[in-house]
Amino acid sequence: MPAVTYTCRLAAVLLAATTLSSIAIAQTPATAPATAPAAPVQAYVPTETRADPNLPRTSFGQPSLEGRWGSNWVLPLEASPRTPMLVVPEAAAKQIALGYAKGVGDALDAQLDPEVPETMRNVEGLPKVRGERRTRAVVIPANGMLPYTDEGKARLKRGTGRDLYDNIEERPNWERCIRSLGQPPVFPIGSGNPREIIQTPTQVVIHTEYGDEARIIPFTDTHKPKIFWGLLGDSIAKWEGNTLVVETVGMPDKDAVRLFPSFVVSNDAKVIERYTRLGTEELLYQFTVIDPKIYSEPWMGEFSIYKLNGRLFEHACHEGNYSVPNILRAARVKEERAKLTPVAAPAKPPVQPVTARQ
């Protein structure tokens, strides 16, 4: 499963097309053959995290998570009316994934370069966890839906700030690649955004390709003072048996609305990630979002990522920086045009009625 390098151009395209892809994802299960019958909501059965025996360990005794990990899945965040079940058979999973990928690809076809839709179509199906095909990432609540509060719904609706044009500071961070897809919880985009893990006795590094972002996380139980918190928040780590547990707080509120997929992680949120190596090739990634203002209860998601043989590549990204003057200038032109008094069209002479000839 080779790592795929995405340029900033593709990043901007995908992020700008989020609304289109959300619509497509909502619609595409209906276009796919109904091979998976509707099933009642069932309680989530925790994924078995007992690892295979004789997995590698580091020279200093920690379970080894080192290496590059990724996937090439269609990964819906939430359940849909057509796929309320979490686990589906392989044949049904293939049809559902084809429906999702085709819907997103078709929605992008009309306005983008041809490689983007094809990238979306050439995925390897729905995510797989311990051999089971999953229809979504969210496992708690059991219905697979994010438990938004009214405030959370309003925050999601307000979006990322793409409609703010007063000054450069208002523009979203992702637009200029100041921040990309390294904030937890970390999601892939098809085969994009693989991650690399590097371990030392006192720190662990989680490096994501999309945006070239690296979190250098100390093994400690105390967060740094707020003055040192960065765009990726402040993360601390510990081991619970063979599972690496990472707790992150303090992510910028400017980046609260995530775009691929769309959900909210506010500045008050705490995100707990759990990395468990299940075998030589499979790494289980679980995450819990605790954000009482945005969600009525904590919610949890999970998916597996798999060992990659390839390397990570540079993520070049500057188009958004170059475009900022034009973005702001266009907003000023639009404002000036709105101030202009419309010139009334000259009145037409009245039409004389035609009278019948006497």
pLDDT tens series, the chain, 358 aa: 333 333 344 443 444 344 333 433 443 333 444 444 455 667 888 999 988 888 999 999 999 999 999 988 888 999 988 889 999 999 999 888 888 877 777 777 666 556 666 767 778 889 999 999 999 999 999 999 999 999 999 999 888 777 777 888 888 887 777 778 889 999 887 777 889 999 999 999 999 988 888 999 999 999 999 999 999 999 999 999 999 999 999 999 888 888 778 899 999 999 999 999 999 999 999 999 999 999 999 999 999 999 999 888 887 777 777 888 888 899 899 989 988 877 677 777 777 666 655 5
In 3-state terms, what secondary structure has residue 245? strand
Q: Answer left, alpha or beta for residue 190, where phi above 0 means left and psi between -120 and 50 means alpha.
A: left
Please report, for residues 22, 331, 333, 336, the alpha-carbon distance to residue 340 in angstroms, rounded to integers and kept in the order given. Answer: 37, 15, 11, 7
Crossing angle between the packed helical segments 18-31 and 90-109, to the nearest 10 degrees:
140
Q: How far apart are CA 104 and CA 95, in angstroms?
A: 14
Which position has the token pair 């008094």?
341
Instruction: Give the residue among 354, 191, 186 at the shortest CA–CA distance from 286.
Output: 186
Query: Helix H segments across 56-167?
Result: 90-109, 115-121, 150-158
Instruction: Give the residue among 169, 176, 150 at the shortest CA–CA distance from 264.
Output: 150
Q: How far apart are CA 214 and CA 191, in angstroms?
A: 19
Query: Helix H segments across 32-89?
Result: none
CA–CA–CA angle 19, 295, 159 (5° rounding): 30
Q: Which pLDDT score, from 0 to 100, does residue 210 have?
A: 82
Residue 168 · residue 181 · CB < 8 Å: no
Per-residue tokens: 67: 């290496």
Q: Which pTM value belongs to this model?
A: 0.82
Q: How far apart are CA 61 and CA 219, in angstroms?
A: 14
Pairing of strands 195-199, 87-88: unpaired
| 206-210: long-range pairs with CB below 8 Å, 24+ | 206/182, 206/246, 207/312, 208/180, 208/181, 208/182, 209/3, 209/5, 209/6, 209/312, 209/313, 209/315, 210/6, 210/11, 210/180, 210/181, 210/182, 210/315
